[in-house]
Structure 1
Amino acid sequence: MADVKTEQLGLRITPTAKALLREAAAREHRSASNMVEHLILEYCEKNNIVVGVHNPTTETGKTTS
């Protein structure tokens, strides 16, 4: 079952980034918002980012050794 979408995200981007988002979404037959969600999920999967898992880089912006 798909997750229920209850959250909103407002952001400002350049006109170029918006045009690129729309083009990418159109090529995959997605809405712009669905494309953003897809890109976030794909990035997190590739980089082993999981909700609820402590990641030192998310708090300080720096990695710990």
Structure 2
Amino acid sequence: MSPKKTTTLNLRVDPAIKEAIKEAAIREHRSVANMIEMLIRKHCEHEGISIPEQQVLFGESNE
């Protein structure tokens, strides 16, 4: 299995939002990056926005 491909996302947020996401991540035993990804996935699911699997996105086969 090949390693996951990731990309960097840089963003600016209010310091209070940063502290809140850090606290949320700690409470769920996640990294901040994983917590943000989980929240984005949850929001997209709620809004009916599909997120393709990485194999599809990068044209990889499962062989």
Q: Give the TM-score taking structure 2 as reference length.
A: 0.71
2:42 is paired with a residue whose SS is helix
Using structure 1 for the length normalisation, give the TM-score: 0.69
Aligned positions of 1:15-26 closer than 5 A: 15-26=15-26
CA RMSD of aligned residues (A): 2.0
Q: How far 1:51 moved relative to its partner?
A: 4.1
**AA aligned opposite 2:39:** L
1:44 partner letter: C
Larger RCO, structure (CA 8 Å, separation 6 or more):
2
Partner of residue 27, structure 1: 27
- Structure 1 gap segments, 5+ residues each: 53-65
The match for 1:46 is: 46
Identity of aligned residues (%): 47
Specify the alignment match of 1:14 in structure 2.
14
Consecutive unaligned residues in structure 2, runs of 5 or more: 53-63
CA drift at 1:5 = 3.5
Q: How many residues align?
A: 51
Q: Which residue of 2 aligns with 1:58?
A: none
Return structure 1 stretches of 4+ with deviation > 4 angstroms.
none
